Amino acid sequence: MSRLEGISGLEPEKSIFWESLEIIFRWRKFVFVCVTIVCLITAGVVFLLPKWYRASATVLPPERGAVDMNLSNVFRGGVPFLGGELAIPFAASPSDILAAMAQSDAVLLGVVAELSLGKVYGIASTEMLLKVVRGNLLVKTTTEGIVQISYEDKDPQRAYEVVQSVVANLDLVNQRRGSTKARATRFFVEERLKETEKKLQAARDSLKTFQLANRALDLDEQSKALIASAATVKAQVVSDRIALATLKRELSETHPEVQKLEGKIASTEQELKRLEERGSKGSFLGVAMSALPGLSQELAIRMRDVTIQEKLYELLTEQYEQAKIQEAKDTPTISVLDYPRVPEYKIRPKRLKLIMTAFFISLFVSLGMAFTREYFERMRTVDPNRYQAVASLASRIRAELVSPFKKNSRGADGQS
Put residue 158 in one of left, alpha, beta given phi > 0 → left and psi -120 to 50 → alpha.
alpha
Indicate if the pLDDT at residue 34 is higher than 80.
yes
412 inside domain: no
In this prediction, residue 285 carries a pLDDT of 39
Is the domain of 63 the same as that of 38? no
Is the domain of 224 the same as that of 271? yes
Which range has the worst mean pLDDT, 53-57, 153-157, 169-173, 258-262? 258-262
How crowded is residue 290: how many other Cβ atoms within 10 Å of its Cβ?
A: 9
Rounded CA-CA distance 83/178 in Å is: 10
Which contacts (CB < 8 Å, 24+ apart) does range 365-370 have?
365/34, 366/30, 366/31, 366/34, 366/35, 367/24, 367/31, 369/30, 369/34, 370/23, 370/24, 370/27, 370/30, 370/31
Q: Which of 6-10, 155-159, 270-274, 294-298 has the highest mean pLDDT?
A: 155-159
Is the domain of 113 the same as that of 153? yes
235 inside domain: yes
> What would the pLDDT profile of 50-94 be if each residue is shown by its tens digit?
999 999 999 988 765 444 444 444 444 443 333 333 333 444 578
Is the domain of 284 the same as that of 374? no
| Residue 335, beta-bridge partner list | 60
Choose the final residue of a domain: 181, 202, 217: 181
Is the domain of 272 the same as that of 377? no
Pairing type for strands 335-338 and 137-141 reads unpaired
Q: Which of 62-66, 101-105, 254-258 has the highest mean pLDDT?
A: 101-105
DSSP per-residue string spanning 90-134? TPPPHHHHHHHHHTSHHHHHHHHHHHTHHHHHT---HHHHHHHHH
User: Based on C-alpha coordinates, what's the Rg of the chain?
Assistant: 42
Is the domain of 66 the same as that of 120? yes
348 inside domain: no
**Shortest CA distance to 331 belongs to which of 136, 89, 62?**
62
- pLDDT band (50, 70, 90) for residue 412: low
Rounded CA-CA distance 352/84 in Å is: 51
Q: Which amino acid makes up residue 112?
A: V
In this prediction, residue 279 carries a pLDDT of 44
- pLDDT band (50, 70, 90) for residue 155: very high
Choose the final residue of a domain: 132, 156, 181: 181
pTM: 0.57
**Shortest CA distance to 246 belongs to which of 73, 94, 89?**
73
343 inside domain: no
Phi/psi for 338 (5° steps) reads -125, 115
Rounded CA-CA distance 76/165 in Å is: 39
User: What is the domain count for the chain?
Assistant: 3
* End-to-end Cα distance, the chain: 58
Choose the final residue of a domain: 161, 181, 201: 181
Is the domain of 152 the same as that of 242? no
Q: What is the residue range of 81's domain? A: 53-181
Is the domain of 119 the same as that of 58? yes
336 inside domain: no
